[in-house]
Amino acid sequence: MSLGLSLYLDVFRFGMAMLVWLDHSTFHGFTGHPYRFWFTATYGATAVNAFFVLSGFVIAHVTKSRETTGRSYAFARVARLYSVVVPALILTCLCDQAGTWRFPNYAGDWPGQLPDHQPARYLLTLAMLQETWVFGKMSPGTNGPFWSITYEAAYYVCYGLFLFRARRDAVIGGIIVFVVTGPRAACMFPLWIVGVVVYRWMLHHTVTFWLAAPLFPLSLAGLAFAGSFRFDPQLGEAALYSIDYVEAACVAVNIATAASALRGIRRVPHWAHAIIRWFGACSFAIYLCHEPLLWCLSAYRISPPGTNIQMAFLFIASFAVIAGVTWVGDVLRTRIRLTLYRCFPDPAGNPAV
């Protein structure tokens, strides 16, 4: 992967994470009324679809370059997920508890009574089963965005089975995975596969610069245009899935054209490189931590909702905590992976887990 494309993907995923954050800020009224950032409404789903495509693309890249055995792939995926999931769960619990202390009677200034079965919700989330056909919607506390992590984990498993196990095992394993997770996860799996397909296509094909130059902005415009149709309340489920697939195609075109348009970038200033990498690294923590932080900080607000002071407080304080979670996640990721290698040695040299 070229330096230009790698940096662009960091910028892109940070932008998508911020889009989800702004969408939830607007949707739940944290920005006051009339809502600020109204243009982000419904685009949170667009950003999640883009994340699925990006995930498939990145996983296809790492399994081609460094995670070339089932063991290394499995350990890396577990470390990647749990290094952020565990701190995010702890943060969610602390934020929700602080909110209930502030409003013990669940007054209207807070989200209302938390969903029931909270211990079960946290345990299911640790098992990556918080959004399944079997258990239903069981995201922990106020942290609704956790739903997509079940799908992400399921796709990791399916792709790992496809790469490192016999086809019969992969088919049986995939059926079991989607029987547990349900039809919605199966319907969204093609979005993740689009990322894999575009990466494999790019290994042998390139888009010419003169074609990439107009297609690159057009793909972003197409993404925005497709997402705008979600404003229509009359859309059925089939139409919404069609929008998802169109958005996935737009993201695929965007990645392929960005690779051509940015191929000439071979060096960037060290400070710029470090900043872009850091913001990209924050995207996962932004996605998993922003909502409980918004609820908690709004319970302890310093100014009425929608005022500039309160907006600055919400976003600056939240981002400071998210930066800390990102640092903790980086440390945990390395330690989890090393611990797994120590606890599960492979003396026989068998690559399949």
- Give the Cα separation of 6 and 58 in Å (integer): 10
Written as one letter, the residue type at 234 is Q
- Give the Cα separation of 12 and 243 in Å (integer): 20
Contacts of 241 (CB under 8 A, 6+ apart): 187
- Give the Cα separation of 12 and 263 in Å (integer): 16
pLDDT, position 113: 66
Give ∠ CA 230-240-225 in degrees, rounded to 5.
Answer: 45
Please tell me the number of Cα atoms within 13 Å of 300 on its side-chain side.
Answer: 17
Structural domain boundaries in the chain: 3-343
pLDDT, position 34: 47
- Give the Cα separation of 298 and 117 in Å (integer): 24
For helices 147-164 and 43-65, the axis angle rounded to 10 degrees is 30
3-state helix, strand, coil in the chain (%, to 5): 75, 0, 25
pLDDT tens-place string over residues 23-68:
888 877 777 654 555 566 678 889 999 999 999 999 999 999 888 8
pLDDT averaged over the chain?
88
pTM of the model: 0.92
pLDDT, position 73: 94
Is 64 in contact with 29 (CB distance < 8 Å)? no
Nearest Cα to Cα of residue 329 among 271, 286, 272, 275: 286
pLDDT, position 178: 95
pLDDT, position 36: 56
Which residue stretches of the chain have pLDDT < 70?
32-41, 104-113, 347-353
Is 145 in contact with 288 (CB distance < 8 Å)? yes
pLDDT tens-place string over residues 306-327:
788 988 999 999 999 999 999 9
pLDDT, position 46: 92
